[in-house]
Structure 1
Amino acid sequence: MVGLIGLLAGLGLLMWLALRDVNIIFAAVLCALVVIVTNGLPFAESLTGAFTLGELGAFTFAGRFFVLFAAGAVFGRIMGESHAATAIAMALVRRLGAHRALWITVLSCALLTYGGVVVFVVIFAMYPLGLRLLKEADIPKRLFCGALALGAGTFTLTALPGTPSIHNVIPTLTLGTDLFAAPLLGLFGGALMLALGMTYLERERVRAAASGEGFEPGPRDVIPDIEAIAKDVPHWALALVPLVLVIATILAPRLAQAAGLGDGSTLIAFAASQPVLWPAIALVLASIAALALFPAVRKAPLQTMGLGTQDAIMPLMATSAVIGFGGVVSQTSGFALFVDAVVNSPLEPHLSMFAAASAVSGITGSSSGGLQIFMATMAEPYLALGIAPEELHRLVAMASGGFDSLPHCGAVIAMLQITQLTHRQAYKEVGVVTVIVPVVATLFTILLAMAT
């Protein structure tokens, strides 16, 4: 009983500390200590094993995915400093008009994240131009925050097949699938997330206009001159080349195998056997192409790439610390009871899988952390219940991207800090598009999978 209370106390404390902007790495260590002590776990073994170097250890995760995080951050830094990200957004402005600021934000973020640019870099890249668009269209910043969250943190990370996101890579290590697992389910779920999310945001935009609510800049906001920005950006078609190269490189081995061209090829065999390294190589190749294409980043390429690598450290360590906390939680009897309860529940396996993945992601406040914990502790039982590996890959990835975005989510807190908004001001919009919309879309996708 004491152990269960301690487990719940540790989980509750993690959420409470995250909501109060306490460093998530410190919070994860502190809460892990609470769980260790109250559950009577071996102190030294739990800290040096379960938390750091175990199967779900923080350093195990960091070591496994460092190259992918670093490659994505370097690519994102290059796309940002070369103004290629801005070029794509401005092309959409010319095509759709500044009054479509929410659509432009969502589509720009989606293109960048699907192309491999990490979420935090996308937010930083889009924010200055977004302020200009919001002012011209007189749209409240809270809706812009929702648009950022929808475009950068939902369907391109968990649903769309082929994306090099960490959420799409983690299942491949356990299930032996590739990044294009269950493509029809992914496309269906992704389209539903986009449609539901944009319907909500546009409805709120109309309501805001009718009530007289408009744009109000934050105290540190600097609104750029679009004409001045336009002088420094490459052509939009050129800006798209590195993004297309990422997806094409990832897709090439699959197409070659389908066409029978990869038989006996060492390169094709290598790509198929490296679900983490191959997307990282795709991002590196795209980074090299971007350096060659964009003069703005050719002046100091090594410094730019070094700064990009530095950008990867904090997101990687924050995610790793949360996973380390989950590694400790997974050693408790309370977690074992939870796993047994969901796997053996009377619910249909697809639905109990959704409940399990959602619960773990919600507890940790991290979709990648929850996904890693699920794959390490619950994937095998659900495969045994008859869910195909490709289906499990896609559906669990989507399920992990719902309740992870509760108010204690580190990514949500970081985004609100960047946009100078509070939970009270903007979390409703963020919560709808990153929690309610993905949950609804995932449930409908599960129904489609069960019907086919």
Structure 2
Amino acid sequence: MVCAIEGVMIMVGLLGLFAGLALLIWLALRGVNIIFASVICSVVIIATNALPLADSLNQSYAFGDLGAFTFAGRFFLLFAAGAIFGRIMGESHAATSIAMALVRSLGAHRALWITVLSCALLTYGGVVVFVVIFAMYPLGLRLLKEADIPKRLFCGALALGAGTFTLTALPGTPSIHNVIPTLKLGTDLFAAPLLGVFGGAVMFILGMIYLERERVKAKAAGEGFVAGPLDTIPDLQSIEKDLPHPALALTPLLLVIGTILAPRLLSLSGAGGDIALVQFANSQSILWPSIALLFASLVALILFPAVRRQSLQVLGNGTQDAIMPLMATSAVIGFGGVVAKTAGFYEFTQAIVAADMPPLLSMFTASSIVSGITGSSSGGLQIFMATLADSYVAMGIDPQELHRLSAMASGGFDSLPHCGAVIAMLTITGLTHKEAYKDVGVVTVIVPVVATLLTVGLAMLT
């Protein structure tokens, strides 16, 4: 009788777990605020798994190791620094200057290439993804009209440039996805650089092949650009009048990467081993990238008159820009913290770890699925690092490889239709899942998964 009751409780818990996940996806697809949705779905899982209500909400969801506010407190400065930097690059027109330089080099008909490369430069330099989308959208509309390219492909280009290889694959980026593994594994932002460059190159090449193929197909089918009812299309000539020189516009981005890279180069050369600042930088995987972004922001304020005159307001607005992305990500992680306390999640993780497959493939599967469950690469990666990373290190996976490959794996199934970043991008561009998700899904799910599997294969061969 006791065993039967326990079996029923386990079954109810599993059903509740799936119900909570399905409800989160359903609410996200309908545009319900992700913070509210995460709380409701957490309560469903708590109730069906007989978890203690107070402890689950106060600790597992809010303040535990995987709590929403624990994450928010730990990463607030990095989010704020990235958003401030993005706001300055946007309002100073430096981001537009970089894009316009690409227009002059490649031609407006290469709108998709320009969008991908511009977004990649900005996100690799530390600009928050949401800010990049806002900064690129007006100029992108003009380029799309010039080249007569459908808006759905612009969404794909935005997603490829801002949300794939520069966030999870390329070494050195100050993205949160590259920072999270350093806290658990003791690695730095340049972990497994060759694997990262290989994986990033595969993502870029496959993504551009797909987008260009779709552009040609759209042209042959007579599908072109159609502006939305709220779209305002700027004039390219009027934009160019007040832009800073492209070299000046690139300076803050180069400064971010250079500041992050300098301590590592000094350490490798042996010249900086005894310098206190170098030791500090190498030991602060969150604070040092934040300092690099803030330092570049101050330099940008000096360089660009458009923001210099209202510097305090721009800094304040940039800080405000960080709040919603930070809280949305934190809420998903809080939901994952509740999920991680269920018996079903424990059984799932144990089954994957014990599965008869190579450790790197097992790791890829675990990181991918957890990120898919949460609809967040950063949330899934945080949960993976907290619950599974030690098991894979114990299997003999090199921490450098685990850092890079788990980060890349987290950036695949996270972009399923309930992903908050996908929903935000479609909202900004005025498109629906039906209109644009196929292209976004190919470049943010299929392409990263293929690239990561190829990189895993390369790591297994070397």
TM superposition score category, shorter chain reference: over 0.9
Aligned pairs for 1:84-233 (under 5 A) are 84-233=94-243
Pairwise CA distance, 1:265: 1.1
- Aligned residue in 2 for 1:257: 267
| Structure 1 counterpart of 2:326, from 313, 316, 319 | 316
Matched residue, 1:293: 303
Q: Quick one: distance in 2 between partners of 1:392 and 1:213?
A: 43
Instruction: Give the aligned partner of residue 58 of structure 1.
Output: 68
The code of the aligned residue for 2:84 comes to V
- Rounded to whole Å, the distance in 2 between the matches of 1:26 and 1:127 is 28
1:438 partner SS: helix
Aligned pair partner of 1:80 in 78, 81, 90: 90
SS of residue matched to 2:173: coil
Distance 1:47 1:232 in 2: 51
- Distance in 2, Cα, partners of 1:110 & 1:77: 16
Alpha-carbon distance in structure 2 between the residues aligned to 1:267 and 1:246: 16
3-state secondary structure, aligned to 1:386: coil
Deviation per residue, 1:259-290 (Å, 9 max, x gap): 11112111011101100000000000000010
Whether 1:246 aligns to 2:272 is: no
Distance 2:382 2:258 in 1: 26
Distance 2:18 2:368 in 1: 17
Distance 1:330 1:183 in 2: 31
| Counterpart residue number, 1:403 | 413
Residue 413 of structure 1 pairs with residue 423 of structure 2: yes
Distance 1:404 1:130 in 2: 25
Paired residue for 1:325?
A: 335
* 302, 313, 322: which one aligns with 2:312: 302
Aligned amino acid, residue 341 of structure 1: A
The one-letter code of the counterpart of 2:60 is A
- Aligned partner of 1:34 in structure 2 is 44
Partners of 1:114 and 1:223 lie apart in 2 by 27
TM-score (ref. length: structure 2): 0.98
1:4 paired residue among 9, 14, 22: 14
CA distance in 1, matches of 2:434, 2:335: 28
Give, in whole Å, the separation in 1 of the partners of 2:145 and 2:324: 32
Residue 402 of structure 2 is matched in structure 1 by: 392
Paired with 2:231 and 2:143, the residues of 1 have a C-alpha distance of: 13
Return the letter of the residue paired with 1:285.
Answer: F
Q: CA deviation at 1:354?
A: 0.6
**Distance in 1 of aligned mates of 2:121 and 2:273:** 33
RMSD over aligned CA atoms reads 0.4
Aligned length: 452
Structure 1 counterpart of 2:6:
none
- Alpha-carbon distance in 2 for matches of 1:70, 1:94: 33
Deviation by residue 1:392-420 (Cα, 9 ceiling, x = unmatched):
00000000000000000000000001011
Q: What residue is the counterpart of 1:445 in the other structure?
A: 455
CA distance in 2, matches of 1:300, 1:136: 34
Tell me the distance in 2 between the aligned counterparts of 1:298 and 1:412. Answer: 33
Query: Hey, what does 1:368 align to over in structure 2?
Result: 378
> In the alignment, residue 386 of structure 2 is paired with which amino acid?
A
What does the per-residue CA deviation read over 1:81-114, in whole Å, with 9 as the maximum and x for residues that have no partner?
0000000000000000000000000000000000
Structure 2 CA distance for aligned equivalents of residues 57 and 432 of structure 1: 32
Q: Deviations over 1:412-442 (max 9, x none)?
A: 0000010110000000000000000000000
Q: Tell me, which stretches of 5 or more residues in structure 1 are unaligned?
A: none
Whole-Å separation in 2 of the counterparts to 1:113 and 1:395: 19
Unaligned stretches of 5+ in structure 2? 1-10
CA distance in 2 between counterparts of 1:15 and 1:266 reads: 48
Cα distance between partner residues in 1 of 2:47 and 2:301: 51
User: Displacement, 1:74?
Assistant: 0.2
User: Which residue is 1:20 aligned to?
Assistant: 30
State the shift of 1:347 in Å: 1.1
Task: Write the distance in 2 (CA, Å) between the matches of 1:179 and 1:69.
Answer: 16
Report the equivalent of 2:363.
353
Tell me how far apart the structure 1 counterparts of residues 238 and 389 of structure 2 sit (CA, whole Å).
52
2:353 to 343, 346, 363: 343
For 1:393, the aligned partner's letter is H
1:264 and 1:200 map into 2 onto residues whose CA distance is 49
Q: Using the aligned pairs only, state the percent identity.
A: 76
- The Cα shift of 1:47 comes to 0.6
Query: What's the CA shift string for 1:9-37, capped at 9, x where partnerless?
Result: 11111111000100000000000001111
Post-superposition offset of 1:67 = 0.3
C-alpha offsets along residues 333-376 of structure 1, whole Å, 9 cap, x if unaligned?
A: 00100010000000111111111100000010000000000000
CA deviations over 1:103-132 (Å, ceiling 9, x no partner): 000000000000000001101111111100
What residue is the counterpart of 1:271 in the other structure?
Answer: 281
Which AA in structure 2 matches 1:120? F
CA–CA distance in 2 between the matches of 1:318 and 1:200? 30
In structure 2, C-alpha distance between the alignment counterparts of 1:3 and 1:437, rounded to whole Å: 34
Structure 1 residue runs of 4+, over 3 Å off?
Answer: none
Q: Which amino acid aligns with 1:351?
A: L
